[in-house]
Structure 1
Amino acid sequence: MSADVGRRAVVRTGRILRFLGWFAARLVVANLVVAREILTPGWRLCPAIVRVPLPGASSTEVVLTALCVGLTPGTLTVAVRTSPPVLFVHGMYADDPDGFRRQIVELQRNLLSAVRPVGRRPAGPAPAAGDPDGR
């Protein structure tokens, strides 16, 4: 095994472990928020469906993003468009659609940095606030 292949394997393993730790923390927080909602009904519930563009994502990356969204309590992927790649995500706490969209884009970026080969850039920038195509 060449030194370059070994270095890429170490970097990729580190990225995957970093994503798993980040995602596990996100899952714990999401579970606590949902548990609080159950214990104190009407606390902060503000459901909405938000359009989340995924520029530059392959079909596999779109599926992985949708699966991670579905694993997170309080969120659910309700539709997927493949060309251009877009997720429609239902969130129980989407009182700020732009902020909710940024959370999904952050999830996607962290996921892509873990699954893409070393040297390939994560997804493009999130849509600007107020962008008509961002909703």
Structure 2
Amino acid sequence: MSLDVVRRTVVRTGRVVCFLGWYATRLVLANLVVAREILTPGWRLRPAIVRVPLTEVSDTEVVLMALCVGLTPGTLAVAVRTSPPVLFVHGMYADDPDGFRREIGELEQKLLLAARPVGRGPAGPAPAVGDVDGR
């Protein structure tokens, strides 16, 4: 095995471990927010469906994005468009669509960095376009 293959394997493994740690933290925090909503009276919910443009992604990467969004409490991928790649995400706390879109964009960048081979990092951010607001 060449030294380059070993280096790429180590770098990719590190990226995957970093993503899993970051995502696990995000998952725990989202669970705590939803649990607080259930256990305390009051309406802090600001649901909306937000249009999130994706960077140049493969079909597999779109599926991984939709799965990660769907696994996170309080969010759900409700529709996907492949050309251009767009994810429509329902968020329980999406009172700021641009901020919500940035959070999903951060997930996409970190996921693509972990999922893609070393040397092919995530592309630049997709242009922000309008959203469908559920309020």
Normalising by structure 2, what TM-score? 0.93
Please, which runs of 5 or more residues in structure 1 have no aligned partner?
none
Using the alignment, how far apart are the partners of 1:89 and 1:98 within structure 2? 12
Using the alignment, how far apart are the partners of 1:63 and 1:134 within structure 2? 22
Shift of the alpha carbon at 1:41?
A: 3.5
Using the alignment, how far apart are the partners of 1:110 and 1:93 within structure 2? 21
> SS at the partner of 1:52?
strand
Aligned position for 1:115: 115
Using the alignment, how far apart are the partners of 1:28 and 1:21 within structure 2? 11
Dislocated runs of 4+, deviation >3 Å:
none
Aligned position for 2:42: 42
Using the alignment, how far apart are the partners of 1:36 and 1:126 within structure 2? 33
Please, which runs of 5 or more residues in structure 2 have no aligned partner?
none
Shift of the alpha carbon at 1:88?
A: 0.2
Using the alignment, how far apart are the partners of 1:123 and 1:47 within structure 2? 29
Using the alignment, how far apart are the partners of 1:51 and 1:125 within structure 2? 14
Given that residues 127 and 134 in structure 1 are in contact (C-alpha distance below 8 angstroms), is that contact kept between their aligned partners in structure 2? no
Total equivalences in the alignment: 131
Given that residues 74 and 93 in structure 1 are in contact (C-alpha distance below 8 angstroms), is that contact kept between their aligned partners in structure 2? yes
| Cα gap change, 1:110 to 1:95, in 2 (>3 Å) | same
Matched, 1:68 2:68: yes
**Structure 2 counterpart of 1:16, one-letter code:** V
Given that residues 52 and 88 in structure 1 are in contact (C-alpha distance below 8 angstroms), is that contact kept between their aligned partners in structure 2? yes
Given that residues 49 and 89 in structure 2 are in contact (C-alpha distance below 8 angstroms), is that contact kept between their aligned partners in structure 1? yes
Using the alignment, how far apart are the partners of 2:82 and 2:35 within structure 1? 34
Looking at both structures, which has the greater relative contact order when contacts are Cα pairs under 8 Å and sequence separation is at least 6? 2
Shift of the alpha carbon at 1:32?
A: 0.3
> SS at the partner of 2:60?
helix
Given that residues 53 and 134 in structure 1 are in contact (C-alpha distance below 8 angstroms), is that contact kept between their aligned partners in structure 2? no
Tell me the alpha carbon deviations over residues 74-109 of structure 1, each in whole angstroms, 9 at most, x when there is no partner: 000000001111000000000000000000010011
Normalising by structure 1, what TM-score? 0.93
Aligned position for 1:127: 127
